[in-house]
Chains A and B, each alone.
Chain A
């Protein structure tokens, strides 16, 4: 079973920031949090990952709470092409390829 819980769906206005929450209350001290997304009919796409510190790359920012029990993925300026299912994943056993996908959050970016 997935180690994370996420809201089933969210809406966001185009050009606004999209903030996607994730709970991972059972995470261990050396386990990373990964975010992937799947745009309709495509393969999952890696977005970002983090351990303790907040992370930022060209796609998104990842904010991890100090107790590491939850995190938030931030898409700073959402576009229509960001409409996708977003998965927050804590890999099983720490191996980043053995990804246990939950149901994810369906993000709909609207004009």
Chain B
């Protein structure tokens, strides 16, 4: 079983549309994350979320919103998509606390045309 799974793997959409990327983890972790990897291959954290707290990277536009229906899922909703949103988005999970590792999904390649 895949520990952290994302769907879809590829997403092509037009500017102005609203789209969602889904993420599920079966590791029993209490914290999940979204990362963005741009065309220059830099990986940047967008959000971290657990039952108690949502931490937002202040550089992320408010068109991006994470939604967590339960502890095992953290979906990423994007409104009014722009060309610059084209990137690979990675979901990750970990157990909050020091000395434990994060597990990443395989990524969703979003292309806005």
Contact = CB atoms under 8 A, between A and B. Distances in A.
Interface of A: 30, 32, 34, 38, 41-46, 49, 51, 85, 94-101, 103
A41 B55 CA distance: 27
Nearest to B33: A97
Contacts of B4: 43
Nearest to B6: A43
B96 interface: yes
B102 A97 contact: yes
B44 A101 contact: yes
Task: Give the bracket for the number of chain B residues in contact with chain A.
Answer: 20 to 34
The B contact surface, by secondary structure, is strand
Nearest to B103: A46
Contact of B102 (A38, A42, A96, A103): A96
B48 A43 contact: no
A95 B48 contact: yes
Interface stretch (B13-21, B65-73, B76-84, B104-112): B104-112
Given A97-B31, A98-B48, A100-B45, A44 B104 contact: yes
Contact of A32 (B90, B96, B99): B99
B12 interface: no
A101 B33 contact: no
Contact of A43 (B55, B97, B105): B105
B98 interface: yes
Nearest to A100: B45
A85 B43 CA distance: 12
Contacts of B107: 41-43
7 contacts: A43-B4, A43-B105, A95-B48, A96-B99, A96-B101, A97-B31, A97-B93
